[in-house]
Every structure is written in structure tokens, then in C-alpha cells.
Amino acid sequence: MDILKSFAHPEELLALFRFKLGGCDAVIPKYDYGTMSPSMKVCLELLVRTSRSFAAVIQALDEELRGAVCNFYLVLRALDTVEDDMSIPNEVKVPMLKNFHHNLLDPDWKFMDSKDKDAVVLQEFPHISKEFRALPEKYRDVIWDVCAKMGNGMTVFLERKVDTLEEWDEYCHYVAGLVGIGLARLFSASGLEESSLGMDTALANRVGLFLQKTNIIRDYLEDLNDDRIFWPKAVWSKYRPDIGDFAKPEYQQEALACLNELITNALELIPSSLHFMSQLHNQSVFNFVAIPQVMAIATLERCYNNPKVFSGVVKIRKGEAVRMMMGSSSFDKVKAIMKHFVVQIKARIPESDPHSKQTHSLCQKALSLCDTSQQYSTSSIYPPLYVSMGLMLSAIAYNYWSQIGQWYEDLL
Ligand code: D9A
């Protein structure tokens, strides 16, 4: 029960409650079910099923871009599902990934044999490809191009593990950097953002790298249990000969040093993330980009020097997430949130950490870029206790009375 966890954080109750009421300026879906084609309806359902809260941010994008990004997301999800499916042998998987983009032009292509949790996007692929073919050419070109490059890139790391930091960047480029590049090009193509944004591929790449590196760092234990390793060997092998040792309590010191080194590497991307966001003009695009970036910095803060990364799941509370999502509506606000988390990391750098100096200077650099008069503090808007109690009662009651149903439930 997320409401109960957030009771110790009254400011989150307020956010959860406002969110439940839909009184949030950043993430209101603009459904128009009546005039929608059947394949579009299927795509929307797939989107909500596979991405939960992120679906809402896609839905909030302005008109033409919404359809393009929704389609891009589902096509990427399908490709990702093929890459992830351990039941497909590599001899089958390699040609499937390399040729995946051609499926977009084939009205009948689907794949019914996946055992993956997201297999439904492959089973329903004809609806996704139909929507793709209905898109304006300027969007189709981008999705096609990214799909071809990503499919090919994924095959590079099917047999080979990530070793050097350069290879870490290369792997993240294929699975996330290309997404950043594709999105920047879609934003430009829509006319909602300047054409220069879509042309700076190095910058958009780094926005994607920031998200993916954060995911890889956070998912250490989950990936280890699935027999998958995305932490770069050149880094972890400095601390232990076997990466599995980090999950053993006797090697906690080594595990934390390695974790902190990788987080320090990810922190290098903050200036690029801020620079990318500083160039956005459209409000819906801004929210769409800023929310995942803010979640990533919050996740890095939660993970930094945290032994729980090696024993369980490190999660952002839903109330916290909702509060950040609602607070990410302007560049000044985003800088204030970033600053809040970077300050927390900086305060927790152990003196004995082998990379403490580097971490410190990267925090310092990020803070200089986050200089703003906006405030994001967890104490300034504490409502009086009776207001919190009232909000909690209302929120619980709302849970029972709400006929809006599963959609918002999935969100929280
Ligand atoms: C994104 Cl079209 C992703 N990925 C994300 C989500 O954000 C990025 C996959 C497909 C698309 C977009 C994203 C959002 C906005 C701007 C971006 C961008 O670049 C400019 O991508 C770089 O994680 C997946 C990759 C990182 C591999 C690219 C955010 C998302 N969040 C999940 C929460 C979670 O922890 O996974 O999907 C969610 O809300 O369900």
C-alpha cells in the first residue's frame, strides 16, 4: 500500500492525492477513443500494459508527435523483447534482430513463440506495423533507421560481454543512445522543437546513456540472478575476480567502491542532460524528457554507497515519483530537483572511497549548472498533521469510490 509508505512523508501524500484527482499539469492523457482506428486502440492498450506510468507521459505529448512516439516506443519494445528472450537460440535471434526493421513493412509479421513477459507486443505486432505505415514519412524514416541500427547493434553484444568503459558506452548507445537520437529527430521533425536538436546526435546519445547506465547500475542483482552482466568488466574486475562476489556480505566494501565508481561515471552525463533540456521549447516535450531524467538522478542518489543494491531492489517510493513527475514542469524546477539529489550524494561521499575526489568534483560541476532560485525541499511544504490525516482518509476513500478504475491504479 503506497499510501501507507508515504504517510511518513506528508508532502508525498499531497502529491499522490493531487495526482489521483488528475490535478497535475504534467501528465494528463488526452484520450479520444471515439475517433480512433482499431489498431490505434490496440496500440494504446499495449502502451499502457507495457509501460505503466511512462504511457501517461507519452499520451500527454502534443497531437502528431504523440502517435509517432507511441509507435516508436512499441517498436522498440518489440525489438527489446526479442533481444531479452532467452528461449530464442542465438542462431535464430541474430537474423531476427538484423532484419527486424523489415517487419514494419510486412502487414502479417508476428511472433507467437516468445516466452517473454512482454510477448504480447510480438503477438500483436500487425497492429503496431499498421500504425507505423500510417505515419507521415518524416517519422517513418526516423523509426526505420533507428530500428535497423539498434537491431544490428544488439547482435554485437549477444555473444560478447561488456568489458571496457568504451564498450559500456557502445552497448548503451545501441539500446538507449539510439532512442535518444531517434526522439530528438522526431521532436525536430514535428516542428515542435528546433531542427538543430535532432542534428546534435552526440548530445541526444548522452541523454539516453544517462538513463541506461542508471538502469544497469540499479539492476545489478536482478540481472545477476538472470545470469546477465551489464556492469563493465574493466571496472568490476579491479575489485573482485567474480562479479557475483559483490552479493556476498563479506565483500561489501569492494562492492560499494565499484558501485560508487560506476555512479561517478554516470554523473559525468548530467551536464549533457541539462544542456539537452535547456533547448526544449514545447511544454509536453519538456515533461516527456525531464521526468525520466529526474527519476534517474533520484535513483542514482538512492543507490550511491547503498549496500541494498546488492541484496534487494532499490526503489523510489511511488509518492516520491509522483511528486517529482508533477514538479518537473519547467527547467528551473528540474534544476532544483537535480540540485536536491546532487547535494545528497555529495554529502554522502565516503572519505575513504577511491573515487571520492572525482565524485566530489562532478557533483560540484553539476551544482554549478543547477544554480537557480527555485526550491525543492522535502520540508518546506509540510502540511499540518490534520491536513495529512484528512488527505490520507480522502485518498483511501477515493480508492474505493473511484470509477476511473484500473488505469490510474496501474499508474500508482
Ligand atoms: C525512453 Cl521512446 C525509453 N526508455 C526509458 C523511458 O524514457 C526514455 C524507451 C523508449 C522511449 C523513450 C526516454 C524518454 C524521454 C527522452 C528520451 C528517452 O531521450 C531523449 O530515451 C533516451 O527508460 C528506455 C531506455 C532508457 C532504454 C531508452 C522511461 C521509462 N521509464 C519506466 C520506468 C523504468 O524504471 O523503466 O520507460 C516506466 O515509467 O515504466
Query: Contact at 8 Å (CB) between 188 and 197?
Result: yes
- Quick check: 4 pLDDT over 70? no
Same domain, 73 and 206: no
What is the span of the domain harbouring residue 200? 161-384
Same domain, 56 and 139: yes
* Residue finishing a domain among 134, 158, 182: 158
What's 151's domain CATH number? 1.10.600.10
Ligand 1 in reach of 209 Cβ (< 6 A): no
Ligand 1 centroid to residue 233 C-alpha, Å: 25
Least confident of 117-121, 199-203, 217-221, 311-315: 311-315
d(C-alpha 225, C-alpha 237), whole Å:
19
User: Is position 267 within any domain?
Assistant: yes
User: Is position 15 within any domain?
Assistant: no
- Quick check: 104 pLDDT over 80? yes
pTM for this predicted structure: 0.88
Establish whether 171 is a catalytic residue.
yes
Query: Which three cell numbers, joined as nine digits, stand for 241?
Result: 575476480
Cβ neighbours for 102, distance < 8 A, ≥ 6 positions apart? none
- Quick check: 395 pLDDT over 70? no
Establish whether 398 is a catalytic residue.
no
Per-residue pLDDT tens digits for 140-192: 999 999 999 999 999 999 989 999 999 999 999 999 999 999 999 999 999 99
Ligand 1 centroid to residue 333 C-alpha, Å: 20
Per-residue pLDDT tens digits for 108-134: 999 999 999 999 999 999 999 999 999
Same domain, 175 and 151: no
Average of pLDDT values for 132-139? 98
User: Is position 226 within any domain?
Assistant: yes
Same domain, 246 and 322: yes
State the Cα angle at 392 between 389 and 398, rounded to 5°: 140
User: Is position 171 within any domain?
Assistant: yes
Q: State the pLDDT at residue 409.
A: 44
- H/E stretch holding 28: none
For atom 7 of ligand 1, the residue with the nearest CA is: 292
Specify whether the backbone of 22 is left (phi greater than 0), alpha (psi in -120 to 50) or beta: left
Query: Which three cell numbers, joined as nine digits, stand for 42?
Result: 490496440
User: Is position 97 within any domain?
Assistant: yes
Ligand 1 in reach of 288 Cβ (< 6 A): yes
How far is residue 119 from each of residues 80, 111, 114, 259, measured CA to CA in Å? Answer: 10, 8, 5, 32
Ligand 1 in reach of 42 Cβ (< 6 A): no
Question: Closest Cα to residue 323, out of 17, 4, 51?
Answer: 17
Per-residue pLDDT tens digits for 180-206: 999 999 999 999 999 999 999 999 999
Establish whether 288 is a catalytic residue.
yes
User: Is position 167 within any domain?
Assistant: yes
Could you write out the DSSP letters of every residue in 199-242?
A: H-HHHHHHHHHHHHHHHHHHTHHHHHHTT---S-HHHHTTT-SS
Q: State the pLDDT at residue 412.
A: 44
Per-residue pLDDT tens digits for 15-57: 666 665 544 444 445 556 677 888 999 999 999 999 877 888 8
Number of residues assigned to the chain:
412
User: Is position 357 within any domain?
Assistant: yes
Atom number in ligand 1 closest to CA 80: 27
Same domain, 224 and 102: no
pLDDT-derived band at 391 (thresholds 50, 70, 90) equals: low
Q: Please state the domain count of the chain.
A: 2
